[in-house]
Amino acid sequence: MSEANEANDCLFCKIIAGEIPSAKVYEDETTYAFKDINPKAKVHVLVVPKRHYANVAELAEKDPAELAHIAEVAASIARDAYNGSFRLVFNTGLDAGQTVFHVHAHVLTGETLDE
């Protein structure tokens, strides 16, 4: 399957395009953030690049500035929603629990997190 076809079938590309509804938390030219549908913390936000990359390794290789920007957006969300503390998780690959193959940062905050 080509990259274009993967993107066409991609759940998060459809969310970014507004074809599937989501609870928007933040948006700019390159980046979109929305509430996770199945939150694992009091505040659980997904931050994604608008361009389709399969995982954080591909993003780091092809657009490192966007990866850094995602970390800044995560910090800003944690400051707005809580006291600035947050956990940033990129599940990468099936064995790590990645289920959506459009890179996304899980931002977990809003409470004291379990270790």
Which residues sit at the interface with ligand 5GP, rule CB under 6 A? 11, 22, 34-38, 46, 91, 97-100
Of 45, 49, 52, 70, the one binding Zn ion (CB under 5 A) is 52
Nearer residue to ligand 5GP within complex by CB, 20 or 68 = 20
58 phi and psi angles, rounded to 5 deg: -65, -40
* 12-31 residues near Zn ion, rule: CB under 5 A: 12-13
Contact 35, 23 (CB under 8 A): yes
User: DSSP string of 37-70?
Assistant: SS-SSSEEEEEEESS--SSHHHHHHH-HHHHHHH
Partner that binds at residue 52, options ligand 5GP, Zn ion, none, CB closer than 5 to 8 Å by kind? Zn ion
Partner that binds at residue 75, options Zn ion, ligand 5GP, none, CB closer than 5 to 8 Å by kind? none
Contact 52, 3 (CB under 8 A): yes
Active site residue 106: no
Which residues are designated catalytic? 104
